[in-house]
Chain A
Amino acid sequence: MMASSYNAKEEDGPHSGTPGLGGAAVTKSKKPDNTAFKQQRLVAWQPILTAGTVLPAFFVIGIFFIPIGIALFVTSNNIKEFEIDYTGVDADSPCYSCAKDFSWNSTTSCTCSVDFKLEQPFESNVFMYYGLSNFYQNHRRYVKSRDDSQLYGDLSALTNPSKECEPYRTSNGLPIAPCGAIANSLFNDTLELYYVDSNGTRKEIPLVKKGIAWWTDKHVKFRNPGGNDNLTVSFEGNSKPVNWRKAVYELDPTDSENNGFINEDFIVWMRTAALPTFRKLYRIIQKKSSNTATLPSGNYVLEITYNYPVLSFDGRKRMILSTISWMGGKNPFLGIAYLTVGSICFFLGVVLLIIHHKYDTRNTSADIPS
């Protein structure tokens, strides 16, 4: 940009002389201080938008944005993603009956399995997500309906949960742990993935359920009351959330590091989504060795324990498999956006150059009357 530093050492106007009073030593002069700040003469840089500054800026931005756009776009295209809707809306879909016959009171869980085929092998680590649509996890009342003190293991909040949790604060006179609408609506479908060999045998794919939550959530924000040992005792005076089939200390009885409030599925759910269509990390399929693909191409079966009703509010449930790059998952938007902005900048640069040439001569010659 066009830079010029303003000359600060100018004379201080016509009245620079000290007041010629004999008694000046006694009576303090009211003369203002002659400092650059008080006289508004601070050294300053006065940039103005001239062709010399604006046009190069546009070209430079264009030059920077276009390669970034290309890189993003290419990376995004290299990411493999597979998505399958298992809600069971259509009569011919495998989970139709489970979805249709859903009842809150049933004690037995309905299961269904969906077959699908991966055309291409998924190299590297594969991340398995569940996605929900038309699910307003960002509704104000819903977002509020939790007690972070309770989730932090605060004992008083355990026995007396926050009022925000209403109407999921107490059940049968006992305080609910974890309280609130978010916890109450915990996603409780179970997804299992099987690889179907060419000879038709099913092979279960190991799904890792730890490491799916933020480290800060798991280790800072969420804590079991009284530590992780003997959760049954800790939650003795509490009731389970209304919609839950089992208590919070039964979420993962096999692993005390993943049980109670610090159960990672629970933590992931508690991190509410920004939009009504969202996906949440469910499991990680770790790459076994360097020479075989994590998920080779072929047929797979998704076994679903169908517990979670979404049809009543027109929702959808999906299972997503995706690989990850340095920039995350598949999304061409940012790459295209960068490319577009970069090109527009270039284009604008040219247009402004033409306009500048057309008008500039007129401006410099035109003088203003003083």
Chain B
Amino acid sequence: MSVRRPDTHGSMVPNDEVMPYSDDETDDELDDDFDETSDEGEEPEVPRPPHPPVEARPSEIGWKVKANDRPYHQLPEFEKKVFLCIKKSRYSGNAIKTYKYNAITFLPLNLYEQFKRAANLYFLALLILQIIPDITTLPWYTTLIPLVVVLGITAIKDLVDDLARHRMDKEINNRRCDVLLNGSFQETKWMDIQVGDVVRMKKNDFIPADILLLSSSNPNSLCYVETAELDGETNLKFKMGLRVTDERLQQEDQLAQFDALIDCEEPNNRLDKFTGTMLWQRERYPLDLDNMMLRGCKIRNTDVSHGLVIFAGGNTKIMRNGGKTRFKRTKIDELMNYMVYTIFALLILVAAGLAIGHSFWYEEIGSKAWYLYDGKNQSSSYRGFLSFWGYIIVLNTMVPISLYVSVEVIRLGQSKFINWDLQMYFAEKDTPAKARTTTLNEQLGQIEYIFSDKTGTLTQNVMQFKKCTIAERSYGNPTTAEGVTLDRGRPVDWTWNHLADKKFQFMDHSLVAVVRSLKDKEALEFFKLLSLCHTVMVEHKDGDLIYQAASPDEGALVTAARNFGYVFLSRTQDTITIREMDQENTYHMLALLDFNSDRKRMSIILKFPDGRIRLYCKGADTVIYERLSPNSKYKETTQTALDEFANETLRTLCLCYKDISQAEFDAWSRKHKEAQVTMVDRDAALDHVYEEIEKDLMLIGATAIEDKLQEGVPETIATLAKAGIKIWVLTGDKKETAENIGYACSLLTDDMQIHYGEDVNEKLVVRQANRRSEAFTSHPSKKKPAEPFFTDGGKNALIITGGWLNEILYEKKKKRRRLRLRRLGKRPPITNPQDPQPCNDWEKEMRQIDFVDMACECEAVICCRVTPKQKANVVSLVKKYKKAVTLSIGDGANDVNMIKTADIGVGISGQEGMQAVMSSDYAFAQFRYLQRLLLVHGRWSYIRMCKFLRFFFFKNFSFTLIHFWYSFFSGYSSQIGYEDWFITLYNLCYSSLPVLLVGLLDQDVNDKLSLKFPRLYLPGQERRMFNYKNFFVSLFHGIFVSLIIFFIPYGAFLQTMGQDGEAPSDYQSFAVVTASSLIFTVNLQISLDTAYWTFVNCFAVLGSIAIYFGIVFDLHSAGIHFLFPSMFTFTGVASNALRQPYLWLTIILTVGISLLPVICIQFLYKTIWPSDGDKVQRNRKKYEKELEEEERRTKTSAFQRGRRSRRSAYAFSHSRGYADLLASGRSIRRRPPTRGGAQDSIREVSQREAENI
């Protein structure tokens, strides 16, 4: 194969065209299994050749499968210890189990899971403390009721999720498949399939397990599979059985006799690798991935195929892949946890202080008070100790029990809003946006870096034939048939050509006229070339032609030719049949010189019906122009046209031909045959031979293909850039294509200085050398602020290939712990400061930091030719060194790794492939929805969550700290300031609904203004809305309010009497007054914080206050005292206390003093230091009017393409064509007579596909 990575041992410069080989593990995965990776760490750092030989890991080969022999797999040597001495066969059945609980285990397991959370455990501990009689300061129900509610809500959610999984499992396990049992095929459920069974699959069946293909109804036991569920690619792939099994295992009785022993690697998650051997009739046969059909794929175009089950159920590669889902947490989550710890520390501190207070108090006063005698002879310090625990219980509400569950409820609601958003619904494919994880929403408002895949994400992966230049004349702009240029054309009508593809659109009517007139020979030759020179395969389906192309570019060109009357009809191994306008012609194909990324061209040598031999060639302009004949015409004009096309970011190809004499061809053909059988370096030899014939070409013209961007991509990128989000494109594509797309989507602009791998490496080496020489002169630990890499002040962009990334980053396979250990030790002396290679791990790490710093200085970064692993590594580098919030967006299996690595993964849904979506956190159909997801939903979610948390902490501080103030007047006896039922219900009923609604519904500015002013997104990135400062502000606010709520009533009525002479200064009346003041204050405070008042909010605030009074009057009624005289002891308090106008005046004053300073400060802030958000809010009406006006005006695309010529685009995507397959004729004719080298060619095809990922 030609796409082989050049040996990197000697060369310093990596090959830009090739994706470097890498494992599928990312750094994080390396962390997980230390022992294994430490072994790997000893391996040389140089990338290994793409396909390790079979005997690379002999230890892995230990999986033995015997065909048609079920008892064999139950042998004791295949048993593994499961639990203590219970052993089980290591061959799992094919039933899958993704559910977590069953009817019996649900309660214990779910409770166990829930109590693994620190918060729940904390409240359980509190509950236990409350049972101890000596320290129970609050009755048990104050904790139990909220805890049960919280656990209940979570349990119900888990139950619903698990039931869905049960249903899914059941459906999959009950799918049917034919299994060979007792000599004949019987329909069996999937779950009953076992390792070693022979199964029969029909067309469009899902493959039930990882199966070794034995034979199929197609020639050469070829079997087409669709791997969309596995890797997201929609093109068909071929799998092929061994020749020996194909020949001997076609009939049922033959299959029943099959008794081979397969020896292969242990189950693993590598989708791109399988090694094994088959021992059958005393012969060994090697097996590899091409023989394997993996579970999850679908059989296509193959009527019947037979296979042997190798891995079943949980051992299959897809199941092994799916299992590991990283648990992602948001920054707010982390912060929240730290705050809870802070509160906890504060709680212990306060409780300890009060406990000491109690000791002293008891010493001074308590011990002398005869009325307090409790018959226990405890020392004052012991009493202090008990009081400590008592206060821990009393003040526990500082850590709000309902915090976590409320946060979850809010996130769930926000996710629902994302799902419901009509403006993220893609009507064409009927795909709404979907929040697949409900725990990350507010992080969407904090994104600093976006890592985007190119193909299918930025682009539609749809190529369109847009323009062309034929013999000095350019076509493609909207014109009439007479050639008059129009502003807005209508598409050409193809009804004259019954074979035309209806979906193909072309604006230039003059070209059609030219072709149909049959006068312009060059134009006819142009399309003839397009219809002949390609590797597309055709399928006839319901009278329609369906082209299967290796790259969408080729498909687009052949389709264009088809619509212009040159219809590619069919091909055999050595003929191509096309319809030229009205007559069908068959051309004899003498040679097919396939595309590869070095050659950047493909040629075909044909023998015309009249005996002429002609070579047709299409390729990148750079390579074609070198090979043009000196007397070729149109060179200059075509060049101009090419420049023009390139400026429009179209992908161009030059087309040319060459007439060859019979003698010349015969001479070349001999050399060609020789090269084909060369044993060493066949590819190079072939390339050389090809080179000989592809010269003195005659130019016809050039095509321009548009790699169609998804709708709204440039606008989205511009908006996101204004919001301070940096966008990196990570793609497996070639450098030229990626750069081209970079310009097309306005990520790169003409005023940018573009840096390539070489510059980057140079700069890094310089930086490293400086550091070394500094280390010699100055103190090494002295930290200097990093100087910028780019000093010229302009905009910079970085384009780097995977090879250079490898070179620069020196991916280290060592575990971080080891790295840290080594860093602790002394750094080895540096011998030569100019040595470009980093000499130890510390330097490697510094170099990575340098690279990240440099990349982050650039406006745009494009990484091309990167492997999935590198994509993930780049993401984790930024995550690690920049501590930034990252988002990855992609659509294919190659993006899975990066999606899982980033803080937030977004999958493009609506395409057929599901793998990216399955591992993503959010999924929607179009890239442009990203701006709405981030700038609207993300921003709102962040603001809502921050508001919610700030308020939640405030409300619990102001609620709890009353006890603290009260303790100074109650002998530090951990007496509570409220009725215990109030404590129980405060967070559940009285104060949570309004703040929950703010967390769900609040909007400071509406969605349109959020999009109009991307700068409003900045506070989220800077984490300005919720941090330790805000936390302490909330804390002090809480302290202030609790102080007011305690001391105003204290001053107002505790030394006086009520209007009926009875003293209102009893404990119970006091508790009711503080509680009422608190309810008013808290609910009015949230009203002040609500920016978006809907009737629901209004209802909630009024409702909370009403519920409070309702419940209080109920609990204080005679009836409930009659039923539970010792549980509800506040009988009549509410009615007695709240009858007094004096107490109401006190409550009003308390609420007033609590709120007025806040209003005053907020007003001052908004007047003196208004934020962007405040300004937009203030002028909301003005801006809304402006927006309306803007919308009324019809928008014209404001995006200008660059002026500078960019001339490297060409229209082949990165894969080779199907030439080998065509040449071998496998897919074309049934049972071809020759077989030479067939095995090889097929393997190449699938290797190419593996690289495609």
A: which residues have CB within 8 A of B? 4, 6, 12-21, 29-34, 38-40, 42-51, 54, 57-58, 61, 65, 68, 72, 125, 127, 129, 134-143, 145, 147-149, 151-152, 154, 157, 162-163, 166-167, 181, 184-185, 212-217, 220-221, 271-281, 284, 309, 312-314, 322, 324-331, 333-334, 337-338, 341, 345, 348, 352, 355-356, 359-360, 363-364, 366-370
Contacts and interface: CB of A to CB of B under 8 A. Distances in A.
Dominant SS at the B interface? helix
Contacts, number: 314
B1059 interface: yes
Interface string B401-430: 000000000000000010111110111101
Given A281-B1062, A314-B365, 13 more contacts: A46-B1092, A49-B1159, A57-B1159, A139-B973, A154-B1125, A181-B372, A216-B1136, A221-B1131, A278-B1065, A328-B1140, A328-B1142, A333-B1052, A341-B1149
A274 B1075 CA distance: 14
10 contacts: A12-B423, A40-B1001, A48-B1174, A167-B374, A272-B1066, A278-B1065, A329-B1056, A330-B1056, A352-B1164, A370-B1014
Secondary structure dominating the interface of A: loop
B1057 A366 contact: no
B112 interface: no
Contacts of B365: 134, 136, 313-314
B1065 A30 contact: no
B669 interface: no
Nearest to A153: B1125
Contact of A13 (B422, B973, B1059): B422
Given A214-B1062, A312-B370, A328-B1142, A13 B1163 contact: no
Contact of A217 (B1061, B1065, B1132): B1132
Contacts of A212: 1061-1062
Given A324-B1059, A363-B1170, A370 B1092 contact: no
A135 to B, nearest CB: 7
Nearest to B1013: A370
Contacts of B1067: 137-138, 143, 271-274
B1059 A50 contact: no
Given A129-B1063, A328-B1053, A65 B1152 contact: yes
B975 interface: yes
Given A57-B1159, A216-B1118, A328 B1059 contact: yes
Interface stretch (B48-56, B146-154, B1176-1184): B1176-1184
Contact of A141 (B374, B1118, B1152): B374
Nearest to B1088: A49
Contact of A31 (B430, B1096, B1159): B430
Contact of B417 (A38, A216, A271, A313): A38
B1065 to A, nearest CB: 6
B931 to A, nearest CB: 13
B1106 interface: no
Contacts of B1054: 274-275, 278
Interface in B147-203: none
A338 B1174 CA distance: 33
B1051 interface: yes
B1065 A141 contact: no
B375 A166 contact: yes
Contact of B1152 (A48, A61, A271, A274): A61
Nearest to A333: B1051
Contacts of B1063: 129, 273, 278-281
A330 B1164 CA distance: 39
B1160 A277 contact: no
Contact of B370 (A154, A276, A313): A313
A17 B1015 contact: no
B1129 interface: yes
B1093 interface: yes
A15 to B, nearest CB: 5
B1125 A15 contact: no
Interface of B: 133, 137, 365-366, 368-376, 390, 417, 419-423, 425-428, 430-432, 722, 940, 969-971, 973-975, 1001, 1003, 1006-1007, 1012-1015, 1048, 1050-1071, 1091-1096, 1118, 1121-1122, 1125-1126, 1129, 1131-1132, 1135-1136, 1140-1142, 1145-1146, 1149, 1152-1153, 1156, 1159-1160, 1162-1164, 1166-1168, 1170, 1172, 1174-1181
Contact of A18 (B427, B969, B1013): B427
Contacts of A163: 133
Contacts of A143: 975, 1067
B702 to A, nearest CB: 36
A163 to B, nearest CB: 8
A328 B1054 CA distance: 11
A31 B1149 contact: no
Contact of B1175 (A40, A217, A313, A363): A363
A328 B423 CA distance: 62
A47 B374 contact: no
A136 B368 CA distance: 11
A276 to B, nearest CB: 6
A271 B432 contact: no
Given A15-B425, A328-B1057, A341-B1152, A355 B1145 contact: no
A127 B1057 contact: yes
Nearest to A182: B371
A123 B1179 CA distance: 63
A4 B1180 contact: yes
B371 A181 contact: yes
Nearest to B1055: A331
Given A220-B1118, A359-B1168, A48 B1177 contact: yes
A39 B1156 CA distance: 35
Nearest to B1067: A274
Given A214-B1136, A279-B1063, A12 B422 contact: yes
B1057 A167 contact: no
Contacts of B423: 12-15
Contacts of B1129: 148, 221
A265 to B, nearest CB: 13
Nearest to B374: A141
Nearest to A363: B1170
Nearest to B133: A163
Contact of A48 (B417, B1003, B1091): B1091
A87 to B, nearest CB: 15
A210 to B, nearest CB: 13
A348 to B, nearest CB: 6
A44 B1092 CA distance: 6
A281 B1153 CA distance: 31
10 nearest A-B residue pairs (beta carbon): A216-B1132, A167-B375, A329-B1057, A185-B371, A13-B423, A331-B1056, A274-B1070, A38-B420, A152-B1125, A329-B1056
A324 B1058 CA distance: 8
A167 B1180 contact: no
Given A15-B422, A38-B420, A140 B137 contact: yes
A32 B1170 contact: no
A154 B1136 CA distance: 25
**Most B-side CB within 10 Å, residue of A14, A129, A327:** A327
A359 B1168 CA distance: 6
Contacts of A333: 1051-1052
A327 B1163 contact: no
Contacts of B1006: 6
B425 A31 contact: yes
A74 to B, nearest CB: 14
A20 B1070 CA distance: 67
Contacts of A352: 1160, 1163-1164, 1167
Contacts of A129: 1057, 1063
A149 B970 contact: no
A328 B427 contact: no
A280 B1175 CA distance: 57
B1064 A42 contact: no
Nearest to A164: B1126
